[in-house]
Chain A
Amino acid sequence: MEVDIRLPAPRGRLAAKEDDEITLVTPGDVITSDTGFMRGHGTVMEDDSLKSTVAGVVERVNKLISVRPLKARYTGEIGDVIVGRVIEVGSRRWKVDVHAKLDAVLMLSSVNLPGGELRRRSEEDERMMRKYLQEGDVISAEVQNVMSDGTLSLHTRSLKYGKLGQGVLVPVPPSLVKRRKTHFHTLPCGVKIILGNNGYIWLTPTVTESNTGGYEVDLSPVSRGDREEMARLRNCVLALAEQKMLLYDTSIMYAYEESLKFESKVLLKSEVASEIAELAQQRLEHEGYK
């Protein structure tokens, strides 16, 4: 038992890389007065000039100019992998918190029913909805559609999606999750990680994995070894997020490997966390990752 009360030190951030292509703007800044551009997200046309409405990075794709805010609620795109928490059971639908402006909707018709069979949804199923997923349950899903008001409609019609069992949910800013081909990884240390595009990261031991759409949850105790790996990964993810580093399998694995010289609980200390993040970044640069 050790109690650590310390005086605050101005905590440093990792130095940002010099990159002259990045233009940062604040709301009201004129991005260009050239009329030949198209107005994208985060900008507004006023007095013949394009002005920014958020603080962030200017992005230019051909003629389209948009500003990506530094901090934003998650806005989904079709095909995104998300991790969310069920917050309400409604008629023929579940409402899911996905860290977005609006709660996402999971229709009863867009889930795989237990056993994975495809059939008409009967009234029986409607009554059983709370049996399948209830308030508080964590699910992984894919964005099926983005409605006009921004509400996400989800589906879990694949065996890789569905209810999640024992594990740890780590929320990070959504913009830190790097978009990749796959967001499901089984890391060499025996932990499965789901990097939700919405900034919810799910860590789970591989042993509890079940491929039945996950309606039956394994509640047997997780082994000490798995627990230790999960705690370590959780703290690594938080350390990277604290330093605003992009999260994907390589960066997390590098941080994990650098952290091995410490006990996992030591990673909670701010100076150790930033050291790990720094080492991971150095290694990423060294290996030529951007």
Chain B
Amino acid sequence: MPDTRRITGPEETQSPFAFCPQFLAQSAEAFSDGKRRDGRKAEADHRPVFLKAGLISQAKGSAFAELDKTKVVCAVYGPHEVARREDFSMQGQISCEVKFAPFSCRVRRQHVQDGREKDLSTQLLEALEPAVRLDSFPKSQVDVFVTVLENDGSALSAAITCASLALADAGIEMYDLVVACTARIHGTSILVDPSFSEENLKTVSGEKPGGQVTLGFMPSLRQVSALCYHGDTDLDVLSQATQRCQDTCHKLYQVVQDTLVKSVEQRMNNS
């Protein structure tokens, strides 16, 4: 049945920019004038991060995360009874859904969840599950919904950090917060928290394309909860990149903690 309430548009449409040569021309240069494409100075520099907990009043918990232009919002509902329970288990479940808003990327996204969004949802679940005390809500389920409002690179890591903040805001018992960071391997450089244009850097011919790695990290436990990478590179470079992500996660951890403390303080003042 066609969904009459939404504008679906014709099945095969292309953005006009897709045929525009300037748009297609990806650069192979990560640096210009010793600066990164968006003006950051060093490879290990993270974009300014803005986090806020508790902005969707009806959700059990919610959070908003901003990495410069990348903007992500997350809502947590539950725990509630599992609708379709399979077998007996004393553990709770988490369900994750990541969605790009139709206008969030350069190309318009469809309303129906596509393959990439499903993949991101699984990765998000992978990252969160080890951190949440599933045995604290047996036989029930927590729903985590993430909407990417604007995608300017590193959407997955923003989603993970945002979701863990929202879970904490919802008062779900957790062993630790999950902080995530993405790094783009390009030639010999490892760019922390890549922007969209850095994510799509062209490979220098004759060089390994590098790739992109996202690490979900629990800083107090010193445990990795998610690690996903694709590309083509040597093991040492990959290890270096994950190490750099890990260092960045430690720095971000502070920010996430501060945000949570602030939101608790605010709530105490209001009541």
Contacts and interface: CB of A to CB of B under 8 A. Distances in A.
A89 B89 CA distance: 12
Interface in A87-141: 88-89, 135
Contacts of A88: 88
Main secondary structure of the interface of B (DSSP, over half): loop
Interface residues of A, number: 3
Interface in A48-88: 88
Contacts of B87: 135
Contacts of B88: 88-89, 135
A219 to B, nearest CB: 20
A135 B87 CA distance: 10
A135 B88 CA distance: 9
Nearest to A135: B88
A89 B87 CA distance: 11
B220 to A, nearest CB: 31
Nearest to A88: B88
A253 B208 CA distance: 57
Contacts of A135: 87-88
Interface in B78-94: 87-88
Contacts of A89: 88
A135 B89 CA distance: 10
B52 to A, nearest CB: 44
Nearest to B87: A135
A14 to B, nearest CB: 41
Interface in B89-148: none
Interface string A200-212: 0000000000000
A97 to B, nearest CB: 13
A134 to B, nearest CB: 10
B162 to A, nearest CB: 37
A88 B87 CA distance: 9
In the complex, the 4 A-B pairs of residues with the closest C-beta atoms, listed nearest first: A135-B88, A88-B88, A135-B87, A89-B88
4 contacts: A88-B88, A89-B88, A135-B87, A135-B88
